[in-house]
Amino acid sequence: MTVVRTRVGIVGAGPAGLLLSHLLAAAGIESVVLDSRTREQIETTVRAGILESWLIELLRQTGASDRVDRDAQPHQGIELRFDGAGHRIDFRRLVGRDVWLYPQHEVLRDLIAARVAAGQDLRFGVVATGAQDDGERVTVHATGLDGEPLTVEAEFVVGADGSRSVVREAVAGSQQAGYFREYPFAWFGILCEAPPSAEELIYSNSPHGFALISQRSAAVQRMYLQCDPELDPQAMSDEAIWASLRERVAPHPLIEGPIVQRDVLRFRSFVASHLRRGRLALVGDAAHTVPPTGAKGLNLAAADVVILARALEALLLRGDGSEVDRYPEVALRRIWKAQQFSWWMTSMLHTVPGASEFDRLRQLGELYSVVESEAGMRFLAEAYTGWPLG
């Protein structure tokens, strides 16, 4: 059995775990990061694409990415489409902030490259099986690539291991302990090879269901359509996908091209019952899941990490544990605001199976009350572009 000793053990090399190791290293605190996946799997999984501006600034300022300067594209607003017409929400004018289109796997490539260049102990293909704070030592138990047991002993352990977190059990008491909400629909996501169909994102509510037109680059686009959670992504023909997208954003024209990837994203809201126990804490999807409408998941994970990194600096460099004590309270304020926003965007924009005509017309009333009100549009813009981190 191998025992590795470090200051902070981090389970999960997704955006949360990698950003945490990066911020801790900048403060002179060493960590070990474990992930069950390979580096290639992590770097090629297609995920969300919208980053709040403070996060772009953080990646730039801490030297995590120089590619954001070249490749991230500022978006000054979004379009809400409903009742056959588009309505622009102008973030720049309403709140003076942009959001940035920079795909999550690019953030991961940047962070992994920066951590590897800095000599970070980053172990891929290592499956964590549990974590424990026995009052004396905090440990992570894992199985290495060769099947050998591996134990990480640390002063603090962080679960950044996603929605199926194994660290959650040690923090919250069980895998399921928390607050849940399921939704009766999912998103069918595609990547296609075509020029952009719109300069900004289009969130469209239509009688045929929701659609989102997003972008990736001059040559590749990302689009989503509301679907049944049980839909087999291979069961729909390319033509059926395009027909469905077209009718949901009509009369806005779409530029079609070969569909090169498809996936189904399930919708769920979750907040773990506890975010910290002793010298164990949860960040990112291990702590919470939001439905994707409104693009809060990655940004929320990064916000947890910034709050926890500051708290760990106080604890490990100055022996001051008060910020770690306050971590759940500070993080949860933002988490529940993001839960509310993601739930609101989701329920305002999607077609609920079996909804009455009253519900459908009330939904249009809600959408008009946002786009015909400065206060309504500003509320949406403040949340979408991200609340200040403080």
Residues 278-297: x where in contact with ligand DHB by CB under 6 A, - otherwise, as a string? --------------xxxx--
Given 22, 208, 288, 296, the catalytic residue: 296
Tell me the C-alpha to C-alpha distance, in Å, between residue 270 and each of 13, 26, 290, 372.
Answer: 21, 31, 7, 32
Question: Is the Cβ of residue 122 or residue 190 nearer to ligand DHB in the bound state?
Answer: 190
Distance in Å, CB of 73 to ligand DHB, minimum: 11
Is 368 one of the catalytic residues?
no
Among 9, 15, 17, 49, contact with ligand DHB (rule: CB under 6 A): 49
Residue 222 sits in the site that holds ligand DHB (CB under 6 A): yes
Residue from 102, 183, 203, 327 carrying the catalytic annotation:
203
Burial of 304 (0-12, 13-18, 19+ CB in 10 A): buried
Residue reference for tokens 């549990």: 130
Residue 384 is a catalytic residue: yes
Among the listed ranges 47-55, 249-257, 310-318, 366-374, the one in contact with ligand DHB (CB under 6 A) is 47-55
Residues 145-204 that bind ligand DHB (CB under 6 A): 201
- Among 13, 18, 23, 48, interactor with ligand DHB by CB under 6 A: 48
Residue 169 backbone zone (phi > 0: left; psi -120 to 50: alpha; other: beta): alpha
Closer CB to ligand DHB, 25 or 265, in the complex: 265
The residue (of 159 and 297) whose beta carbon lies closer to ligand DHB is 297
Q: Using the minimum distance from each CB to ligand DHB, give the nearer residue, 11 or 383.
A: 383
SS3 7: coil
Query: Does residue 203 carry a catalytic annotation?
Result: yes
* Rounded-to-integer distance, Cα 19 and Cα 21, Å: 6
Structure tokens at 167: 């660290």
Least distance (Å) between residue 297 CB and ligand DHB: 7
Please select the residue that binds ligand DHB; options are 50, 170, 254, 290, rule is CB under 6 A.
50
Question: Among 302, 344, 280, 279, which residue's Cα sits nearest to residue 288?
Answer: 302
Q: Any contact of residue 214 with ligand DHB (CB under 6 A)?
A: yes
| Least Å from the CB of residue 43 to ligand DHB | 16
Q: How far is the CB of 212 from ligand DHB (least distance, A)?
A: 6
Rounded Cα–Cα distance for residues 199 and 120 (Å): 38
Question: Of 103, 291, 292, 328, which residue is the catalytic one?
Answer: 292
Active site residue 296: yes
Question: How far apart are alpha carbons 73 and 53 in whole angstroms?
Answer: 11
Q: Position of tokens 């911020």?
A: 23
Question: Using the rule CB under 6 A, is 380 a contact of ligand DHB?
Answer: no
Q: Does 346 bind ligand DHB (CB under 6 A)?
A: no
The one-character DSSP state at 224 is E
- Is 302 a binding residue for ligand DHB by CB under 6 A? The answer is no
Find the shortest distance in angstroms from Cβ 213 to ligand DHB: 9
Residue 203 Cβ, how far from ligand DHB at the closest point, in Å? 7
Listing DSSP states for 159-205 in one string gives E---TT-SHHHHHHSSTT-EEEEEEEEEEEEEEEES--S-SSEEEE-
Peptide bond into 251 cis (omega under 30): yes
Beta-carbon contacts of residue 227 (< 8 Å; ≥ 6 apart): 185, 186, 187, 188, 209, 264
- CA torsion through residues 347, 348, 350, 354, sign: positive
Number of residues that bind ligand DHB (CB under 6 A): 11
Closest CA to 90 of 385, 386, 387: 385
Residues in touch with ligand DHB (CB under 6 A): 48-50, 201, 212, 214, 222, 292-295
Residues annotated as catalytic are: 75, 203, 292, 296, 384
